Structure 1
């Protein structure tokens, strides 16, 4: 890789504390992602399984979401599912993000808090921008943090 293409690649992450048990939150993003529509309707309008089965590597999921005042779409392939680590990784292959990025990976990992109360959700983006004019994807963090908090509230309301 040339030096200029290295500067186009990056990794950013954020951690969000939640009240829900790690296992319940992890299950929402793997086996029940379609329920995100119910949990966070202002952010996610649809989450449809196009190929495979929920929570399995190789599955194709299409998200319709609302970000920066616009309706957007992301088609993702599930690349990694590690139940013991409560980790799932999605590769965005089509949609609005691909207008700005050559590659975009989203990793979600949920870890129980030490005291057994609540969990920490680590959200990580690995990406390569199409050119230097594209902003780094930290602008997506407020959207994802709000989504995580609304999913947490939804899960806690079902207890």
Structure 2
């Protein structure tokens, strides 16, 4: 994980990459077309997801997530954006536990395939993870614990998608 700003800055970006052993296209499809199955794929981290406004597969749908971060049950309401060409999902934070700390909180998942044929059991691509944030107060830490959560969530989903294949 890399941080592009210092901890005292009011806004910044955290970035990480996770190797994917399942197809990046399959991973993107899980978020894009079957988000209601994410809790089945990552039961350790995601407890439930509900559509609050719109439809499951629509751009600008508002979803309500219930998840566990560092052993604490939390909620997150977001508006989703999809970029099918880049296989990117952007969750724009609206309400929830993280919004008590951050004025802006966006999570971006980009699923990128490897260009070479790696063979069975080797990584097929990467998930590029980004959290953009703006703190409400100077003493709020960067959302490192949430980047750890997102990273673990992606790893668990990857393992589940590989096992289901």
TM-score in terms of structure 1 length: 0.91
Instruction: Please report how far the alpha carbon of residue 56 of structure 1 lies from its aligned counterpart in structure 2 after TM superposition.
Output: 2.2
Whether the 8 Å contact between 1:111 and 1:121 is mirrored in structure 2 is: yes
Instruction: Please report how far the alpha carbon of residue 104 of structure 1 lies from its aligned counterpart in structure 2 after TM superposition.
Output: 0.6
Whether the 8 Å contact between 2:106 and 2:132 is mirrored in structure 1 is: yes
Which residue in 2 is equivalent to 1:49?
Answer: 51
Which residue in 2 is equivalent to 1:3?
Answer: none
Residues matched between the structures, number: 153
Which residue in 1 is equivalent to 2:4?
Answer: none
One of 63, 66, 72 as aligned partner of 1:64? 66
Distance in 2 (alpha carbons) for counterparts of 1:126 and 1:141: 10
Which residue in 2 is equivalent to 1:96?
Answer: 97
Whether the 8 Å contact between 2:131 and 2:147 is mirrored in structure 1 is: no
Change over 3 Å in CA distance of 1:102–1:62 after alignment to 2: same
Whether the 8 Å contact between 2:28 and 2:111 is mirrored in structure 1 is: yes
Whether the 8 Å contact between 1:55 and 1:81 is mirrored in structure 2 is: no
TM-score in terms of structure 2 length: 0.88
| Structure 1 SS opposite 2:85 | helix
One of 32, 39, 42 as aligned partner of 1:40? 42
Unaligned runs of 5+ in 1: 1-5
Instruction: Please report how far the alpha carbon of residue 142 of structure 1 lies from its aligned counterpart in structure 2 after TM superposition.
Output: 2.1
Distance in 2 (alpha carbons) for counterparts of 1:103 and 1:146: 22
Q: Tell me the C-alpha RMSD between the 2 structures.
A: 1.4
Which residue in 2 is equivalent to 1:24?
Answer: 26
| Structure 2 SS opposite 1:142 | helix
The structure with the largest helix share of the pair is 1
Which residue in 1 is equivalent to 2:152?
Answer: 146
